[in-house]
């Protein structure tokens, strides 16, 4: 099938759909019944001859379904993002004189289409890269997706779900929506799939995941011939294409202009290696593939007026300053708040109410204050900065505050041990997924229960069943939801020692340290209690435990020994599984850094090393036996340290060989 035939078919579909819309919704037909029937039959015959049809063809218009829920789907292969850069120098370093395909970075929602023997069987969103949503019924309402293609076996195509600029302008005449990306994303999250057609979503492919060859350019060209709309692309391996690595900035400007002229929502330019196998050989991080890079325009910065500085409470009692400013729209969303992280940064920025500040969204996501314009003006005029005042009293409980040093930064803390703000932070952490994993106790729910007086400490969570009848009278709670919550609380009692320790919010004791403690005591709470609750245990004998961590946990246990004992009575601690295996790595200490290609993550690699008798540390020292880094030539701090200490740097493959 050639491009001309596709365009003819696409035009026939559009005319017939517009005629049907006019007939049923406007009362002013643009075609007579006879003309409509003749054109419909012509289209049907063409589809039969070509063995091809679009999803919005009137010959088999798919009825929109109202779903009961959106099902999750685990991707057959990861749908990761791309690394980003902001200048041509980084791009040239990435391209490195290799044949590269450049394309518009469409600003929509990444989707994947899967065909089996030419039939569309599944569509899914990227989600978190590993798990997405099944949107098969949604894409049947897209304007341009082929329902069947001339391709045997499995064919998988990644692309972007977008709304063209002209369609968005027409849809958004009443300014209901901020931008087309949000509208596209929201349209694929609704249960009534008829909304998808009304919002004129389209799919543009940009990568053949399965069923293609070893050339990205050829794969995209074939996909276009199969009937897909493909993102506009250029190739630097052929002079007939627009991309010229010797004049890259002009090329980038051209791509942006092309996108704007043709109405594509665009937020950058993607560069990917044409050699597919070479790209795959570069591997990936947990966040992005290394076969491509996305050039993004510099972060969009706006000036605004600082209205206030608010302090919010964290689980450890630290009050975090937040800048509140006059609303500005950046990258399609309105922002009016940005965390300033700690008092040290607040002082460095010299922030005062009324100042003119510049704000941006780091990586187009996280609002941040870039600089204080007024402070610069004050400095230029030789005006000494005013003394920055901090609240003397906690905004949550009214208790006294004080400044402390934490990890070389100055922080403001509430000194009241019974502060409800601290309690909310601690309870939120306690019920979180990696701690006690109590499903149904959101921060909002916890806050409500604290205000009602039902929660004053960790132990109260396991007494919430006393308030079951009162709970059912609250807005948003019913018999089923209350029962589900109480079951979740009961289920959380079956836990492990490391989760229990981590859930307590002990300063400096995170997940890794909690696991180290649990392993030392074989996951047995009684052994832990005997050694640590009845006496002061020297935690510095454990790997990666220093004096500060030792003092922190011993001080916590001493102050909370009764609470720990009472809470533990509610728990059923699972015994650690002793993994039988070889001790080929006995006595060896490993440090893992950089991205992994064979193991799912560092936790899996750590588990394999430990099951073989080895140990894993977080930092390189004289005790380290091997540094595991796939980039053995890296100039990172850990690589430099390893070389200074003559510690072997091995790749992931070498580690796997050692494990055999």
Residues with a catalytic annotation lie at: 105
CB 402 within 8 A of CB 409: no
Name the 3-class secondary structure at 291: strand
Distance CA 295, CA 467 (A): 55
Phi, psi dihedral angles at 152 (to 5 degrees): -85, 165
CA distances (Å), 259 to each of 103, 269, 299, 414, 439, in order? 10, 10, 19, 52, 45
Query: What is the sign, positive or negative, of the torsion defined by CA atoms of 122, 126, 131, 135?
Result: negative
Distance CA 610, CA 219 (A): 43
Task: List, in sequence order, the alpha helices (H) in 267-363.
Answer: 276-281, 343-349
CA-atom Rg of the chain in angstroms: 30
Phi, psi dihedral angles at 482 (to 5 degrees): -65, -45
Distance of CA 187 to the CA centre of its chain: 20
Which of 556, 567, 601, 600 minimizes the C-alpha distance to 435? Answer: 567
Please enumerate in sequence order all residues whose Cβ is within 8 A of that of 320, keeping only pairs 6 or more positions apart, or say none.
311, 312, 313, 314, 339, 340, 341, 342
Distance CA 527, CA 210 (A): 53
Q: Which residues pair with 120 in a beta bridge?
A: 115
CB 652 within 8 A of CB 628: yes
Please enumerate in sequence order all residues whose Cβ is within 8 A of that of 447, keeping only pairs 6 or more positions apart, or say none.
424
Query: What is the sign, positive or negative, of the torsion defined by CA atoms of 214, 219, 221, 225?
Result: positive
Distance CA 258, CA 265 (A): 11
């Amino acid at each position: 099938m050639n491009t001309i035939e596709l365009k003819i078919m696409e035009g026939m579909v559009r005319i017939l759909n517009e005629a049907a819309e006019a007939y049923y919704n406007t009362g002013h037909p643009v075609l007579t019944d006879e003309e409509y029937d003749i054109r419909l039959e012509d289209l049907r015959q063409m589809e039969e001859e070509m063995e091809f049809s679009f999803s919005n063809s009137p010959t088999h218009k798919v009825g929109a379904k109202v779903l009961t829920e959106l099902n999750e789907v685990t991707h057959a292969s990861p749908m990761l993002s791309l690394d980003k850069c902001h200048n041509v120098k980084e791009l040239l370093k990435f391209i490195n004189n290799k044949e590269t395909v450049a394309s518009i970075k469409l600003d929509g929602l990444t989707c994947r289409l899967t065909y089996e023997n030419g039939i569309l069987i599944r569509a899914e969103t990227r989600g978190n890269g590993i798990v997405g949503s099944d949107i098969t019924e949604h894409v049947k309402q897209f304007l341009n997706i082929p329902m069947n293609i001339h391709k045997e076996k499995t064919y998988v195509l990644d692309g972007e779900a977008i709304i063209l600029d002209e369609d968005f302008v027409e849809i958004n005449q009443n300014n209901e929506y901020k931008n087309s990306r949000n509208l596209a994303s929201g349209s694929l999250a609704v249960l009534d799939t008829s909304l998808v057609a009304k919002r004129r979503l389209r799919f543009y492919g940009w990568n053949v995941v399965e069923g293609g060859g070893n050339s990205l350019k050829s794969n995209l060209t074939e996909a276009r011939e199969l009937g897909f709309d493909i993102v506009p692309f250029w190739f630097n391996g052929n002079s007939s294409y627009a991309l010229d690595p010797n004049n890259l900035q002009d090329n980038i400007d051209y791509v942006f202009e092309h996108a704007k002229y043709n109405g594509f929502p665009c937020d950058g330019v993607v560069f990917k290696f044409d050699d597919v196998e070479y790209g795959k050989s570069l591997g990936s991080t947990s966040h992005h593939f290394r076969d491509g890079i996305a050039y993004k325009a510099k972060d969009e910065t706006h000036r605004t007026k600082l209205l206030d500085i608010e302090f919010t409470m964290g689980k450890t009692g630290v009050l975090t300053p937040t800048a509140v400013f006059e609303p500005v729209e950046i990258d399609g969303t309105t922002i009016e708040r940005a965390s300033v992280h700690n008092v040290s940064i607040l002082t460095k920025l010299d922030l005062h109410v009324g100042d003119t500040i510049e704000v941006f969204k780091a990586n187009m996501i996280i609002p941040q204050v870039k600089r204080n314009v007024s402070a610069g003006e004050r400095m230029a005029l030789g005006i000494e900065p005013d003394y920055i005042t901090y609240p003397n009293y906690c905004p949550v409980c009214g208790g006294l505050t004080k400044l402390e040093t934490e990890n070389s930064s100055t922080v403001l803390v509430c000194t009241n041990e019974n502060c409800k703000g601290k309690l909310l932070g601690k309870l939120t952490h306690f019920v979180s997924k990696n701690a006690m994993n109590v499903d149904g106790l959101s921060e909002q729910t916890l806050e409500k229960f604290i205000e009602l007086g039902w929660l004053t400490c960790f132990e109260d969570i396991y007494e919430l069943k006393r308030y079951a009848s009162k709970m059912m009278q609250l807005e948003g709670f019913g018999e089923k939801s209350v029962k589900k919550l109480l079951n979740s609380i009961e289920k959380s009692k079956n836990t492990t020692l490391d989760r229990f320790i981590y859930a307590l919010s002990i300063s400096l004791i995170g997940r890794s340290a909690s696991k180290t403690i649990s392993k030392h005591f074989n996951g047995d709470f009684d052994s832990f209690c005997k050694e640590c609750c009845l006496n002061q245990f020297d935690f510095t004998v454990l790997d990666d435990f220093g004096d500060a961590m030792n003092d922190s946990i011993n001080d916590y246990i001493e102050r909370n020994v009764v609470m720990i004992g009472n809470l533990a009575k509610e728990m059923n601690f699972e015994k650690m599984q002793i993994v039988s295996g070889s001790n080929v790595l006995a006595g060896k200490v490993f440090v893992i850094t950089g991205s992994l290609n064979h193991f799912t993550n560092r936790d899996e690699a750590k588990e394999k090393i430990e099951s073989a008798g080895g140990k894993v540390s977080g930092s390189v020292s004289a005790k380290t036996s091997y540094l595991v880094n796939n980039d053995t030539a890296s100039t990172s701090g850990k690589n430099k340290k390893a070389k200074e200490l003559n510690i072997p740097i091995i790749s992931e493959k070498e580690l796997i060989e050692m494990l055999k």
